[in-house]
Chains A and B, each alone.
Chain A
Amino acid sequence: MFNNKDLQVIFIKVALASFVLTLLIAAPYIAKRASGKTGESAGGAVERAGEKLAVKAVSEGADDVFALFKTGKASEKQVKPSFGNLPNELFPGNRPFSLDFHKMPVEYLVPPAPEVTRTSILRIRELKMAELEAIEAQQAMAKNYDKSPENGSIR
């Protein structure tokens, strides 16, 4: 039947017609997909936008942070060295002086007790041990799965 030339012609014609028809029907959808992809690349996700900013900052070399090392002039309003005006007062006695003169909030003057650090160290060690034990348990379990069938594997 396939040797029939007329039938071959009809078959090719029907296939071409079907393809063209499919293309015509799908054209709006394909056009929409294409425009959708363009939109996606133009819009960008929030995270991508953030990343872009970082890339921009890095490529621009960010601020000239090294200029910060050059600052070194005291403000006119800061305390001035007064040693020179006071030599006569300085030498005798060195009388007691109130240390409670730092005009700062109390949080600047009270350090945390060293026990807090010790407790933290203890907790970190516990955490570390727990994690290592978990890894060991995981590895032990993995070994069970790796056993060969003749050794009674469940695999």
Chain B
Amino acid sequence: MLQFKGTFSAKPPSALLSRRGFVLFLVCTLALVMMIMIISLSSQKSGAVLQLTKTIEQERAVALAQAGVNEMLAWVKAGVNDKNSAVGSSIYQFWKTKPPVAGSRVIYSAEFSPAQLKMSNQLVDEYLGNRGYVSGQISLVVTERINGARPSFIGHIELVGKAKYKDFPAETKVKEWREIKIVDLSDPFLDKYALFVKSFCLSLNNPKKRIIIQGITPDDPTRYSFAYLGNRSYPACTEFPQGDKSANAPPVILDLDFKEDRNLLGNFYRPAPFQMANNQYVQASTGNLFFVNPPFNFAGIAGSFSLADDFHKTPELVTIYKSIVDSSRPYADTEGTLGYVVCKDYQSSGGNPAASQVFRALVSTLMQNWKYQYGYSDFLSITGGSQPFANEHPFSGIINYFEDIKQSNSSRTFGGKMPLLFGENRDTPVYVEGPVFLRFFKVAFVDQVEVKFTLNGGQTLDVPFPTVPMHYEKAPETFCGKTLSPPVDSRTDKLMSMPIEHFSINNFFFGAGTTPAKTPTAVKGGVEGYDVFPTIDESLQTVSHFYQTAEEFSNDRIKIINGQKILDLDGNMLIMGGSAHVLNLASVNKYSGKGKIIVAEGSCHLGNLAPVSSSKDSLGIYLMAGRFVLKSDDTANIFASLVATTCFSNNSNTSASAEGGIDFDGKSANIFGNLVVDNLFEMVNMPDGGHLKIVHDPGLYFPEYPVRVSVGQVRSLLAVDYNVQ
């Protein structure tokens, strides 16, 4: 053992050399074993590995084809609303022809080469090197036409992405459908109105709250804006016991302000004072009349009157007569005197001027000497100021009118200045529908005269007789209210002072004899104003986006670009909302795209709202049961078509609390578009000195291309074809 130990420890190197090759042998053995294992594993698992590899490759191809689809989708979305693009132009041409659609109709198709799908093929390069490419094709298919005033179309866009490996024969295809809606957003019937108000507004003439309409100004005399001012909910009164449902339609009266509206009067605007004996009255009439007829000899119309019946109820004449009788009483017993004759006549007539020969002689004499005068004035001249012009006795004949209407129809006592329907320059034609009449006033009198009486003994006496105002008479009672035959002139068949309120407001621009169109559809169909509503597709197929609440809408459609909130419009967007829901757009100042926001229930707060591009963008907001509330800091400038009108079971009979309208909330408003409301609510929340200015958008009235093409946000079909052999 020791030896062995000694041997081991003291073995010479030659002994070790005899055991060389041991490690090599071990390594080779292990390598051999591993090789055998690999070969056997490979042969056993090669099918699964191949399968796995293929699957990975296919999924990669699907992903790349999907990238192609997405790139084409982006291209479509960018182009469908641009009629200068290939796809947009096809849609525009299709829309222009408005063809019927039976079955499916391809209106656009295109192939996309790998060179056109740069982004997708960049991905291919990244994932596969140069081993494949992506191509594609799209088809735009219209499947249905939705009829309306102007048709809309729905269909789908088919996108096919193809991915192919260069060294592999199979082509992987991904097919995707997206719903497409070609929606005509115009509403030709309502878009022609700059302003449409269904319910009666007492404050239309309020001089402190002005409505200004600027109609369209095309180079075409047959094109003009429209306005409708209805009389729904007209208050019941003696004159109209059933309000707007009375046998005669209650009028919407608009008061002329001849100073501001003089452009409308043309040659009829000839302001002058009356020619009167008393200079005080001349001064009083100065600046209060826009047309004065020169003094007219009463004798020329004397034949129209009966001395016995037509004068004895005129208080001024009775007063004159009584003063003559009173001044004659001292001579009642002195035969041969004029006083005696007068008193005898007085006794024989029983004090009744109608039976008095002296009264008749007096009237006959006056008729030979009277000069009849009249002129035209307006509401503010007659009633306004600290010392109204009509308070002067000669011009007080018109006061009876105001006393009468106070009893019979207090609505007529409200007056002032008519809205500026024809623009601030009063030069733009606007056709006004509804029972709308112009009002101004005729002020008439016979001036004071001095009648020369010849006394016994040949002496003459000039007896002055005062001015007699021509009193308004609702029913003819005296010569003032009696119809003349022949008339004084073509304008004057009655002498009395009176309101001139039988002219249609359309006489200004649309000629003589224009009768007011009671309903906005007097031309066709005869639909009442309160039964007019915006065009809506009752199938709701043309709605591109549905939202349960206003918040959902805001979250989806208000984008922040460059730090600014932009309302992103895309076709018809329906918010179902609720009575307490508010669509708050007060903080959004810009919008982009074309669209109509329809709020089924709820109000809408608005501040300043303008398009990013006035030529490309348009906005309509239709509140089906709600009101617009202005929430701007100052005057609200809104570029949109605003509609707030509620459809009731019986639209002729409504409750104001449920009506749609606009709440000014202490602001004025400038609207570039149009405004359609149930009620203006007397503009109660508009400040004094405030205004509602509506500039009718010609692009709304005669739109060139009022179409928004919306591409569905979700796939309506997705199919993958692996083309596996």
A87 in the interface, Cβ–Cβ < 8 Å? Answer: yes
Which residues in window 89-131 of A have CB below 8 A to B?
A: 89-97, 99-114, 116-121, 123-125, 127-128, 131
Inter-chain CA distance A57–B614, complex, in Å, is 11
Verify B540–A124 contact, CB threshold 8 A.
Answer: yes
Q: Interface code B602-621, partner A: CB below 8 Å = 1, 0 otherwise?
A: 00000000111111000000
A72 in the interface, Cβ–Cβ < 8 Å? Answer: yes
Instruction: Enumerate chain B residues within 8 angstroms of A40, measured Cβ to Cβ.
Output: 119, 122
Known: A83-B266, A85-B267, A107-B150. A54 touches B78 (CB 8 A): no
Verify A92–B125 contact, CB threshold 8 A.
Answer: no
Closest Cβ of chain B to A67, distance in Å, is 9
Closest Cβ of chain A to B23, distance in Å, is 15
Verify B224–A78 contact, CB threshold 8 A.
Answer: yes
Verify A72–B509 contact, CB threshold 8 A.
Answer: no
Instruction: Enumerate chain B residues within 8 angstroms of A91, measured Cβ to Cβ.
Output: 490-492
**Among B75, B148, B269, B503, which residue has its beta carbon within 8 angstroms of that of A84?**
B269
Which residues in window 608-650 of B have CB below 8 A to A?
A: 610-615, 624, 637, 639, 647
Which residues in window 58-97 of A have CB below 8 A to B?
A: 58-59, 62-63, 65-66, 68-69, 71-97
**Among A83, A97, A128, which residue has its beta carbon within 8 angstroms of that of B600?**
A128
Instruction: Enumerate chain A residues within 8 angstroms of B118, measured Cβ to Cβ.
Output: 43
Verify B74–A47 contact, CB threshold 8 A.
Answer: yes
B592 in the interface, Cβ–Cβ < 8 Å? Answer: yes
Known: A66-B637, A68-B695, A99-B522. A58 touches B562 (CB 8 A): yes
Known: A85-B267, A107-B188. A120 touches B540 (CB 8 A): yes
Instruction: Enumerate chain B residues within 8 angstroms of A99, measured Cβ to Cβ.
Output: 515, 517, 522-523
Instruction: Enumerate chain B residues within 8 angstroms of A33, measured Cβ to Cβ.
Output: 126
Q: Interface code B259-278, partner A: CB below 8 Å = 1, 0 otherwise?
A: 00001111111000000000
Verify B520–A111 contact, CB threshold 8 A.
Answer: yes
Inter-chain CA distance A66–B269, complex, in Å, is 34
B190 in the interface, Cβ–Cβ < 8 Å? Answer: yes
Verify B672–A65 contact, CB threshold 8 A.
Answer: yes
Verify A46–B427 contact, CB threshold 8 A.
Answer: no
Verify A121–B600 contact, CB threshold 8 A.
Answer: yes
Verify B513–A95 contact, CB threshold 8 A.
Answer: yes
B409 in the interface, Cβ–Cβ < 8 Å? Answer: no
A45 in the interface, Cβ–Cβ < 8 Å? Answer: yes
Instruction: Enumerate chain B residues within 8 angstroms of A27, measured Cβ to Cβ.
Output: none
**Among B149, B509, B611, which residue has its beta carbon within 8 angstroms of that of A79?**
B509
Which residues in window 116-172 of B have CB below 8 A to A?
A: 118-119, 122, 125-126, 148-150
Closest Cβ of chain A to B545, distance in Å, is 13
Q: Which residue of chain B lies nearest to A59 when distances are taken between CB atoms in the complex?
A: B562
Closest Cβ of chain B to A52, distance in Å, is 10
Instruction: Enumerate chain B residues within 8 angstroms of A95, measured Cβ to Cβ.
Output: 513
Verify B513–A63 contact, CB threshold 8 A.
Answer: no
Instruction: Enumerate chain B residues within 8 angstroms of A149, measured Cβ to Cβ.
Output: none
Verify A108–B217 contact, CB threshold 8 A.
Answer: no
Instruction: Enumerate chain B residues within 8 angstroms of A125, measured Cβ to Cβ.
Output: 600
Verify B189–A72 contact, CB threshold 8 A.
Answer: no
**Among B188, B266, B531, which residue has its beta carbon within 8 angstroms of that of A105?**
B188
Known: A84-B266, A88-B491. A49 touches B78 (CB 8 A): yes
Verify B561–A55 contact, CB threshold 8 A.
Answer: yes
Closest Cβ of chain A to B602, distance in Å, is 12
Verify B612–A54 contact, CB threshold 8 A.
Answer: yes
Verify B219–A55 contact, CB threshold 8 A.
Answer: no
A51 in the interface, Cβ–Cβ < 8 Å? Answer: yes
Q: Interface code B492-516, partner A: CB below 8 Å = 1, 0 otherwise?
A: 1100000000111001111111110
Inter-chain CA distance A63–B521, complex, in Å, is 37
B485 in the interface, Cβ–Cβ < 8 Å? Answer: no
B325 in the interface, Cβ–Cβ < 8 Å? Answer: no
Instruction: Enumerate chain A residues within 8 angstroms of B489, measured Cβ to Cβ.
Output: 88
**Among A43, A62, A74, A85, which residue has its beta carbon within 8 angstroms of that of B613?**
A62
B536 in the interface, Cβ–Cβ < 8 Å? Answer: yes
B-side interface residues, number (CB < 8 Å): 104
Q: Which residue of chain A lies nearest to B186 when distances are taken between CB atoms in the complex?
A: A107
Instruction: Enumerate chain B residues within 8 angstroms of A131, measured Cβ to Cβ.
Output: 548, 576
Verify B267–A84 contact, CB threshold 8 A.
Answer: yes
A50 in the interface, Cβ–Cβ < 8 Å? Answer: yes
A-contacting 9-mer, from B51-59, B242-250, B351-359, B417-425: B417-425
Closest Cβ of chain B to A125, distance in Å, is 8
B71 in the interface, Cβ–Cβ < 8 Å? Answer: yes
**Among B264, B512, B520, B670, which residue has its beta carbon within 8 angstroms of that of A86?**
B512
Verify A116–B192 contact, CB threshold 8 A.
Answer: no
Instruction: Enumerate chain A residues within 8 angstroms of B502, measured Cβ to Cβ.
Output: 94
A152 in the interface, Cβ–Cβ < 8 Å? Answer: no
Verify A57–B613 contact, CB threshold 8 A.
Answer: yes
**Among B422, B523, B546, B639, which residue has its beta carbon within 8 angstroms of that of A100?**
B523
Which residues in window 313-366 of B have CB below 8 A to A?
A: none
Verify A106–B508 contact, CB threshold 8 A.
Answer: no
Which residues in window 3-18 of A have CB below 8 A to B?
A: none
Closest Cβ of chain A to B254, distance in Å, is 13
Which residues in window 527-564 of B have CB below 8 A to A?
A: 527, 531-540, 546, 548, 561-562, 564
Verify A110–B548 contact, CB threshold 8 A.
Answer: no
Known: A80-B427, A117-B533, A127-B576. A57 touches B268 (CB 8 A): no
**Among B74, B148, B150, B520, which residue has its beta carbon within 8 angstroms of that of A45?**
B74
Inter-chain CA distance A21–B536, complex, in Å, is 71
Verify B224–A47 contact, CB threshold 8 A.
Answer: no
Known: A65-B610, A97-B514, A110-B189. A102 touches B523 (CB 8 A): yes
Known: A75-B219, A112-B189, A128-B548. A123 touches B538 (CB 8 A): yes
B428 in the interface, Cβ–Cβ < 8 Å? Answer: yes
Q: Which residue of chain B lies nearest to A87 when distances are taken between CB atoms in the complex?
A: B268
Verify B512–A110 contact, CB threshold 8 A.
Answer: no
Q: Which of A43, A54, A78 has the most CB of B within 10 A?
A: A78
B657 in the interface, Cβ–Cβ < 8 Å? Answer: no
Instruction: Enumerate chain A residues within 8 angstroms of B600, measured Cβ to Cβ.
Output: 121, 124-125, 128
Q: Which residue of chain B lies nearest to A84 when distances are taken between CB atoms in the complex?
A: B266
Instruction: Enumerate chain A residues within 8 angstroms of B425, measured Cβ to Cβ.
Output: 72-74
Verify B217–A73 contact, CB threshold 8 A.
Answer: yes
Instruction: Enumerate chain A residues within 8 angstroms of B192, measured Cβ to Cβ.
Output: 104, 108
**Among B74, B122, B220, which residue has its beta carbon within 8 angstroms of that of A36?**
B122
Instruction: Enumerate chain A residues within 8 angstroms of B522, measured Cβ to Cβ.
Output: 99
Q: Which residue of chain B lies nearest to A33 when distances are taken between CB atoms in the complex?
A: B126
Verify A47–B77 contact, CB threshold 8 A.
Answer: yes
Instruction: Enumerate chain A residues within 8 angstroms of B651, measured Cβ to Cβ.
Output: 114
**Among A86, A92, A109, which residue has its beta carbon within 8 angstroms of that of B521?**
A109
Closest Cβ of chain B to A129, distance in Å, is 10
Given A65-B611, A86-B512; 10 other pairs, CB 8 A cutoff: A33-B126, A45-B74, A84-B265, A91-B491, A101-B510, A109-B525, A112-B536, A117-B624, A120-B536, A124-B574
A-B interface, 7 closest residue pairs, ranked by CB to CB distance from nearest: A84-B266, A84-B267, A89-B512, A84-B268, A91-B491, A103-B222, A46-B74
Give 26 pairs: A residue, B residue, CB < 8 Å, sorted on A. Answer: A33-B126, A36-B126, A39-B122, A40-B122, A43-B118, A47-B77, A54-B566, A58-B590, A62-B590, A68-B672, A73-B217, A74-B427, A81-B264, A81-B426, A81-B508, A82-B266, A84-B268, A88-B490, A90-B491, A102-B523, A107-B150, A111-B533, A116-B533, A121-B647, A123-B539, A127-B546
Binding site for A on B (CB under 8 A): 71, 74-75, 77-78, 118-119, 122, 125-126, 148-150, 188-190, 192, 214, 217-222, 224, 263-269, 291, 422-429, 431, 489-493, 502-504, 507-515, 517, 520-525, 527, 531-540, 546, 548, 561-562, 564, 566, 574, 576, 590, 592, 600, 610-615, 624, 637, 639, 647, 651, 670, 672, 693, 695, 697
